[in-house]
Amino acid sequence: MMNCLLPSREFRYQSLSWHKSQMFPDVSFAVRKMSLADRIQLTNQLKDLISKNEFLRAGDLQEQSEAAVADLLTKRLYVEWGLVELRGLRIDQCAATPEMLLHKGPELLTDEIVGVIRNSLELTEQERKNF
């Protein structure tokens, strides 16, 4: 049987971070922390949506409408990638899951979670200096 106790001098890392909702005080949620593999995967998934979105924003009304759809798809991608767990939220009498939040949950909470995920993806000043 493998011993899970680590010597006290080892670095311990949690791959999730928990946040309390500012909009819904009883709700908390866990988001993934970014690893190198995650950054590569998410960047590849986002690059087409973002470049298409920027191009469409400069266009006519139909293209701007398509840009709005691209914005929503980007939000969905952030939630699907980064949201791991929700606590304190019930949707239609059931404990909410990330998928339920996307399909039936309050959009204000989704927007808040997307903001937290986006902020967590940005490199800190120290991380930028290391590049």
CA separation for the pair 23, 111 (Å, rounded): 10
Q: Kindly give the parts of the chain with pLDDT less than 70.
A: 1-8, 51-64, 67, 123-131
If one counts the domains in the chain, the total is: 1
In a domain, 98, yes or no: yes
Question: What pLDDT was estimated at residue 63?
Answer: 65
So what's the pLDDT on residue 69?
Answer: 78
Q: Answer yes or no: is 16 within a domain.
A: no
Rounded CA-CA distance 56/106 in Å is 27
pLDDT digits (tens, 9 = 90+) for 94-112: 999 999 999 999 999 999 9
21 in a domain, yes or no?
Answer: no
The pLDDT assigned to 112 comes to 98
Structural domain boundaries, residue 94: 29-121
Task: Assess if residue 36 is contained within a domain.
Answer: yes
User: What's residue 117's pLDDT?
Assistant: 93
pTM equals 0.75
Instruction: Look at residue 49 and tell me if it is in a domain.
Output: yes
| Per-residue model confidence (pLDDT) at position 30 | 98
Distance CA 119, CA 124 (A): 10
Residue 109 lies in a domain: yes
Q: How many CA atoms lie within 13 A of 20 on its CB side?
A: 3
Residue 7: per-residue pLDDT = 60
Q: Is residue 59 part of a domain?
A: yes
Percent of the chain that is helix, strand, coil (3-state, to 5): 55, 15, 30
